[in-house]
Structure 1
Amino acid sequence: MHRRACAALALLVALFLAPVAALAAQAEEGAPRKVIIEDEGFALMHLMLLESRKINVVGITTVSGDVWANRATALALRGLELTDREDIPVAQGATFPLLNSEAATARWEGLYGKLVWKGAWMRDWVEPTVQSTPEYHGPFDPVELPGGNSHLQKSEEIAANFLIRMVHQYPGEITIVACGPLTNLALAQRLDPQFASLVGELVYMGGSFNPQQVLKDQSAAEFAREFENTPRREFNVAFDPEAASIVSRSPWRKLTVIPVDPSTATQRTPGLLARLEKAAPSKVAAFIAGLEPGFPLWDEIAAGYVLDPGIVTKADQLYVDYVTDFGPKYGATLSWHEHYQPGLGERKANVVLAIDPARLEDLMVTAMREGAQRQGN
């Protein structure tokens, strides 16, 4: 009789606790992930994170890289207006790298060879290409975007201070998705040695290990060919190698590196853009329709990883750092397996080496559909 009573009591407790546990698990699983986007502009990567139900973007910080920081800020503000996310603050960050400069890069090219992409310092392509040549601007030129600037205003707070404040406000909860040079993150870490340890995860697009050409399309092949003779050099790191080295040695709770390696199997094709345009809210669809095809999905892989780590088909655990000596390998990626690292503060990272491109593209389309549902389109 006693055993029966105990069994009955245990059953009642289980029946009572099961829904509670299920609700708790549901709440935990359904809670959007807090993300700060750290980048130099506004493109598909931003849209994936802004439109997805899985993500709560709590801020955007900008940095010079593909364009100067002031232009990146203007693009981000207009992007938030486009997506009806005007509540999200945009904090402008570093205009210049810690040490590198346009003049130093020109000197490097004169000594060691031409670079395919130079971002804000880009004046022309080295060889004929299907991609258009970007407009050249100075770092403090007034920004007048085609179609007009946003009515939104940037935050009065600089990016490094914003990053520090947010991770103290939400310790361990924020994922930073960095798809440009790492200058702001390096500055934040130097200002506050606790900074990196308070970030839940840093996912950054940068570095290059051993990328191989996968696609045979002309435009995709052009970008892959860059790495045939310089397999360890990548733009985000090369723009500010000192910042990348500081970030590589900072005490992150979790560090994920998205190098260029998986990007050679991806491409922003007209077909993909058409799928995204069809799924997206009306204003976003118009933006997507104006995007130029032909580029790999560098930053979109980082966003895709945050949305679904299952896109990864090959990864490695490596200690990572970057060359800061001015010479032929300036900005090159360094990596070691356990026991082989120099022991100068390098941090072990989860390095994504290959992904499922079809799964990534499906994620992008799903995010656009969720944005359309949110906006009632």
Structure 2
Amino acid sequence: MRTLFLGLMALLAAAVPAQAQQARRLVVIDDEGFGLSHAMLLDAPDVEVLGITTVTGNVWANRATAMALKGVERMGRTVPVVQGATYPLVNSEALTERWEALYGKLIWKGAFMRQWVEPTQQSTPDYHRPDDPVDLPDGNPTTRPSPEIAANFLLRMVHEHPGQVTIIAMGPLTNLALAQRLDPAFAGLAKELVYMGGSLNPRQVLGSVSATQFAREFIHSPRREFNARFDPEAASIVSRSPWRHITVIPTDPSTATELTPALIARLRAVAPPALAAWIGALEPGFPMWDEIAVGVWLDPSIVTARDTAFVDYDTQFGPNYGDMLSWPAGYQPGIGEQRAELIRTIDPARLEALMRRLLARPAGRQASGGL
């Protein structure tokens, strides 16, 4: 009897870690670099980051991969970093220049960017070719990316963990579109998709020079947003894929946020030494696009207004190329558009509080318990 009892106790003890592991939220981050949003997810106590897939957007994919590897190293983590698509499905630098000649200048062009159209507080980004050697200002990573292709990694993760993987995409959706075209079961095997992209009707909320600059572009082009505009065809494919649930964080809530010098100082003050210097070197003046997306997923209570609609993106090469399209139920064209939850506004104070709690956690450690 005693032997049976001890055997049962051993089985129960072995089952506890398995249950705890099963309770963790599995996520793949798809993005074009490394930022505060990545640090939030890597330090969230109930989240297991299965990997980071990179894509060309703000920078070329090879540079984004180096940035992600460096960020993971800085946090003392061992998370696979998998390089993804170098080019959009159809769009290109030459096509973007032709579009601007016909329809007007874009404010931000990411990897295609050579200079700002008008003077700004933000620094002019360095221009690179897609195959230029990468030399990061804060030092190059010592680790190497996974030899896998991002689309294949995404497929492998959802097949290994069916119905459990959240994909949080904060750059152009090229990798996800490729995965869906390779395997039509891809979207349906994921638990959900959360992505930062698209635009409905953003309005200026803050009064700083930087906030005014980033809100002004929506006065004449309320439906245009960089991630979708960089690869409209991918955005459309992903929007019409059979996800179980889609949460869209458009630019609308971002106009109420800004990474100010004061906020950087507050975040740096609570961060461990491994992150504090990096946070202190972040360039201020930008809205907190990606941090909102991660914050909404980690703590839905930061959302103050949401809506639902059927969503797609304009893929016609005209003045509205890449613009978000949306319809209430019953008015959609019916060619595959999926119902999505749209985040309209958030509470910036609650977002900051969440960021401070997460960044205050020792880097590289994910303890159990709540946020």
TM-score (norm. length: structure 1): 0.91
Amino acid at match of 1:295: F
1:262 matches 2:253? yes
1:227 is aligned, of 204, 208, 218, to: 218
CA distance in 1, matches of 2:221, 2:45: 39
2:188 is aligned, of 173, 191, 197, to: 197
CA distance in 2, matches of 1:238, 1:374: 37
- The aligned counterpart of 2:163 is 172
Alignment check: 8 A CA contact 1:40 1:64 kept: yes
1:355 is aligned, of 338, 346, 350, to: 346
Shift of 1:31: 2.7
CA distance in 1, matches of 2:360, 2:272: 8
Alignment check: 8 A CA contact 2:198 2:323 kept: yes
Shift of 1:109: 0.7
1:104 is aligned, of 65, 82, 95, to: 95
Alignment check: 8 A CA contact 1:30 1:54 kept: no
Amino acid at match of 2:210: S
- The aligned counterpart of 1:68 is 60
Alignment check: 8 A CA contact 1:36 1:60 kept: yes
1:155-205 CA distance string (max 9 Å, x none): 000000000000000011111110000000000000000000011110000
- The aligned counterpart of 1:188 is 179
Instruction: Give the alignment of 1:132-147 within 5 angstroms.
Output: 132-147=123-138
CA distance in 2, matches of 1:147, 1:325: 41
1:48 matches 2:40? yes
Q: Which runs of 5+ in 1 are unaligned?
A: 1-19
CA distance in 2, matches of 1:275, 1:78: 23
1:89 matches 2:85? no
CA distance in 2, matches of 1:220, 1:29: 42
CA distance in 1, matches of 2:183, 2:309: 26
CA distance in 2, matches of 1:353, 1:375: 31
Alignment check: 8 A CA contact 1:281 1:375 kept: no
CA distance in 2, matches of 1:68, 1:372: 27
1:38 matches 2:35? no
Shift of 1:375: 8.9
Shift in CA distance, 220/29, structure 1 to aligned 2, threshold 3 Å: farther
Shift in CA distance, 98/375, structure 1 to aligned 2, threshold 3 Å: closer
Shift of 1:28: 7.0
Shift of 1:372: 4.7
1:130-152 CA distance string (max 9 Å, x none): 00000000000000111321111
Alignment check: 8 A CA contact 1:40 1:179 kept: yes
Instruction: Give the alignment of 1:241-252 within 5 angstroms.
Output: 241-252=232-243
Q: Cα RMSD (Å) of the superposition?
A: 1.7
1:310 matches 2:298? no
Shift in CA distance, 187/375, structure 1 to aligned 2, threshold 3 Å: closer
What is the aligned residue count? 352
Alignment check: 8 A CA contact 2:84 2:151 kept: yes
Amino acid at match of 1:262: P
Structure 1 runs of 4+ off > 4 angstroms?
Answer: 27-30
Q: Which runs of 5+ in 2 are unaligned?
A: 1-11
CA distance in 2, matches of 1:266, 1:58: 29
- The aligned counterpart of 1:10 is none
Alignment check: 8 A CA contact 1:62 1:69 kept: yes
CA distance in 1, matches of 2:224, 2:306: 19
Amino acid at match of 2:338: R
CA distance in 2, matches of 1:257, 1:356: 17
CA distance in 1, matches of 2:359, 2:22: 19
Alignment check: 8 A CA contact 2:302 2:350 kept: yes
CA distance in 1, matches of 2:218, 2:138: 36
- The aligned counterpart of 1:157 is 148
Overall identity of the aligned pairs, in % = 64
Q: Which has the larger radius of gyration?
A: 1
Shift of 1:29: 11
1:283 matches 2:274? yes
1:236 matches 2:224? no
Shift in CA distance, 373/163, structure 1 to aligned 2, threshold 3 Å: closer
Shift of 1:371: 3.3
Amino acid at match of 1:339: G
Alignment check: 8 A CA contact 2:43 2:364 kept: no
